[in-house]
Amino acid sequence: MTIRTRLALQFAAILAVTLLLFSLVIYFFTYQSRRNYFTDNLFARARVVAHVYLDGANRGDEASRATYRRYLRQFYRTLPDEEVQVYDAQNRVVFREGQQTSRPVPESLLTSVRQTGSLVELRPGHAQTVGLLYRDPHRGDFVVVASSVDTDSQVEQRTLRTILAGGLLISFFIVGVGGWFFARQALRPMQRIVQEVDTITAFDLHRRLSQADGQDEVSHLAQRFNSLLDRLETAFAGQRTFVRDASHELRTPLTVLTGELEVALLQERNPAEYRRVLQSTLDAARMLTALTNGLLQIARASDDPSQVPMALVRLDELLLQAHEEVLRRQPTCRIDLEFGEPTLPGGAFEVLGNEPLLLSAVLNVLENACKFSKDSQEPIMAILTCVGREVLLQVRDRGVGMTEADRQQVFVPFFRAEAIRTVPGHGIGLPLTAKIMALHGGSIRVESELGMGTQVTLRLPLTHI
């Protein structure tokens, strides 16, 4: 079932139920009002009959009684099938007017009237019987019982039912048709969005939806979809750039390998020349391995965080491990370590993370500091401290530094600053570190000045305080 059909049916159902309840309320209160009005009329008839009977009974001449009877019959004509009976204290009928029926009045009804003063009894077919206790100071108490059929209410209620039923059917039809067109009008912006989305492909991600300039829910949906397109366009552009740069970087060691092997095979060489070729080939293979490992680490650091195993990691121990590894790779590099006061109980700089990835991030930062400050006489400073709910690792060197323009692009994969083009590397260390920090909910900040050195700050949230 389409949303349009569902909306039309729901709208029609809600309004139909509302109209049906409203019609039932109207019918019920109309019925109650007419019944109460008819009951009041019956009581009025009973009072008139009792008054006329007692007044006429006090007159001894037959002419007066006949006059009262004609007077009463004028009232009886207004109520169909009316019968009024007057009972004395011994429950005997002393006066009767209206329709003469043989149906006796139950003594229980007379007893109830004497106890309560009045009584209303409803019978099927809009028929009613009322009882009234009439007190006379000279002749005692009398019970007046009046019954009649409310034929006017029967006709009026039947007419009202016909009107309400017809009105409901017409309303249902109008609501159904109107709801169908209303749903169509309401969903028209959604249909435009669907048509526009169907025309957007991977080759024109720059296009955006045109329904995002309003304040309604459809506009909010279009805005969110445009934001998704922005992210997809950025991701596709980054992927294309990454593939292009990675292909370029991989081509360099492969070209060296191919060239050296081809030259070695052109003619016979002496053992020293073959040794040089093998050494050059080994260096190119190592470069290719390092580059491939870096690309794999970048891909791994871009994974869903839920798919990366996490555990408690002590950054002070991790820093010491990274320090030993860097000194093994760069024996001439000098790195001074400084540890601040930890805020966790037990003196540990504990974070929740993936130890191999965090070790790779710290190694990248320390190795960059060593590579770019070889000519500096001052040692590299690595300071581990806690600030609030975060642990900070600051690595400061006094190397070549970089310009502000270069600093803003250091997290672009394979980017190489002008001042360090002669230093071996592939430009994937800092981008990899940034991805690892983002994966762990942390951040990286690079501050540098050309000729004055560089400071890299890694921030990671502590496990608990």
pLDDT at site 248 = 55
| Topology classification of domain 3-157 | Beta-Lactamase (3.30.450)
Q: What percent of the chain has pLDDT over 70?
A: 77
pLDDT at site 241 = 62
pLDDT at site 273 = 78
| pLDDT at 306 > cutoff 80 | no
pLDDT at site 425 = 57
* Residue pLDDT, tens place only, 32-44: 888 888 888 888 8
Which of the pair, 119 or 133, is modelled with greater confidence? 133
**Ranges 14-23, 92-101, 223-232: which has the least confidence:** 92-101
At residue 404 the predicted structure's pLDDT band, cuts being 50, 70 and 90, is confident
| pLDDT at 250 > cutoff 70 | no
- Which residues, 6+ apart, have CB-to-CB distance to 60 below 8 Å? none
At residue 458 the predicted structure's pLDDT band, cuts being 50, 70 and 90, is very high
| pLDDT at 159 > cutoff 80 | yes
| Topology classification of domain 304-461 | Heat Shock Protein 90 (3.30.565)
pTM: 0.47
| pLDDT at 31 > cutoff 80 | yes
Q: Please give the average per-residue pLDDT across 105-114, as a whole number.
A: 82
**Do residues 444 and 457 make contact, with C-beta atoms less than 8 angstroms apart?**
yes
Which of the pair, 294 or 181, is modelled with greater confidence? 181
pLDDT at site 353 = 84
Instruction: Name the residue ranges covered by the structural domains of the chain.
Output: 3-157, 304-461
Q: Please give the average per-residue pLDDT across 6-17, as a whole number.
A: 80
| pLDDT at 290 > cutoff 50 | yes
Among 6-10, 71-75, 329-333, the range of highest mean pLDDT: 329-333
| pLDDT at 96 > cutoff 70 | yes
pLDDT at site 465 = 47
pLDDT at site 457 = 92
At residue 70 the predicted structure's pLDDT band, cuts being 50, 70 and 90, is low
* Residue pLDDT, tens place only, 173-214: 888 888 778 777 777 777 787 777 777 777 777 777 776 666
* Residue pLDDT, tens place only, 322-347: 888 888 878 888 888 888 877 655 55
